[in-house]
């Protein structure tokens, strides 16, 4: 009886450990964004599988709204997933597999062999993936900034008061839950455009220059166009994904990753 309880206890412990690891993986993936939409790949229903095997290797599968989504966007999201999950200390390796996509075989082979986007696509690759990532991080910063600026203006803050705020002062503003969430999301991207120390300006443009009260209205108007385009694309992507896939049925991709070369699966 004592031995049975011991075995049962170890099984429960292993089960709890597995559940914890699974939760950690999904938490990491929650922070990976579609670069164009600035929305989580999990909330967009892109990720269809995220499992960990007994050797602590993580296996992720994902899909996209259309068969022809841009190869660089697709590769970027896969690479971001691999980096995010690889940061967990216990993870021994990560495989990411894209399914139902015109470049799935090529992308999956490149990822499995630890190649960069340029190495995977050769002369077909147009530009650096790091440059693309930075471009969309700046756009995400702008979308989050205009949402926060609009919220502060709606609360009665004048243009002069808003642009004079430091990061420290912004963090101390007494706001409701919605306002607190906007500040948190904005601060997550604030360092993309320049140093983000406590006494530094809360609101700067994409070049890191302090905003002025006189030009704030025009600046916000220009940024809103970025947000409108992204919101339209986000609605379109959700509609296309729902039309393309049965979201209630477990997804089985046709393409499978090539066997990984030793030492290439673990991200930086």
Whether 252 shows a pLDDT value over 90: the answer reads no
Residues of the chain with pLDDT > 70, as a percent, come to 85
Q: What is the pLDDT of residue 5?
A: 60
19 or 153, which is more confident: 153
How far is Cα 99 from Cα 97, in angstroms, rounded to an integer? 6
**Mean pLDDT estimate for the chain:** 85
Q: What is the pLDDT of residue 141?
A: 95
Question: What's the pLDDT tens digit per position in 20-39?
Answer: 999 999 999 999 999 888 88
What's the angle, vertex CA 39, arms to CA 27 and CA 29, rounded to 5? 20
Q: What is the pLDDT of residue 18?
A: 80
Q: Which of 67, 30, 66 is nearest to 50 (CA)?
A: 30
Residue 258 contacts residue 113 (beta carbons within 8 Å): yes
Question: What's the pLDDT tens digit per position in 169-182?
Answer: 999 999 999 999 99
Q: Reduced to 3 states, what is the DSSP secondary structure of residue 104?
A: helix
For 52-65, what is the mean pLDDT?
94
pLDDT band at 243 (very low <50, low <70, confident <90, very high): confident
pLDDT band at 256 (very low <50, low <70, confident <90, very high): very low
Q: Reduced to 3 states, what is the DSSP secondary structure of residue 68?
A: coil
pLDDT band at 143 (very low <50, low <70, confident <90, very high): very high
CB burial of residue 117 (10 Å; 0-12, 13-18, 19+): buried
């Amino acid at each position: 009886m004592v031995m049975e309880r011991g075995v049962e206890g170890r099984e429960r412990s292993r089960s709890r450990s597995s559940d914890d690891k699974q939760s950690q993986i999904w938490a990491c993936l929650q922070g990976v964004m579609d670069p164009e939409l600035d929305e989580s790949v999990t909330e967009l229903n892109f990720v269809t599988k995220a499992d960990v095997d007994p050797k602590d290797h993580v296996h992720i599968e994902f899909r996209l709204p259309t068969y022809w989504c841009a190869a660089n966007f697709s590769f970027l999201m896969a690479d971001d997933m691999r980096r995010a999950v690889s940061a967990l200390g216990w993870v021994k390796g990560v495989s990411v597999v894209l399914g139902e996509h015109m470049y799935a075989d090529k992308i999956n082979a490149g990822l499995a062999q630890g190649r960069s986007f340029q190495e995977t696509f050769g002369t077909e690759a147009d530009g650096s993936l790091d440059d693309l990532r930075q471009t969309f991080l700046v756009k995400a910063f702008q979308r989050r900034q205009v949402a926060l600026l609009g919220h502060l203006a709606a609360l009665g803050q004048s243009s002069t008061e808003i642009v004079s705020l430091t990061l420290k002062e912004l963090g101390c503003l007494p706001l409701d839950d919605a306002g607190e969430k906007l500040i948190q999301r904005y601060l997550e991207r604030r360092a993309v455009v320049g140093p983000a120390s406590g006494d530094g300006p809360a609101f700067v443009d994409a070049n890191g220059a302090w905003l002025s009260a006189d030009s704030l209205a025009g600046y916000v108007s220009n940024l809103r166009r970025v947000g409108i385009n992204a919101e339209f694309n986000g609605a379109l992507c959700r509609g296309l994904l729902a039309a393309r896939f049965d979201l209630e049925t477990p997804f089985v991709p046709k393409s499978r990753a090539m066997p990984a070369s030793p030492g290439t699966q673990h991200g930086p």
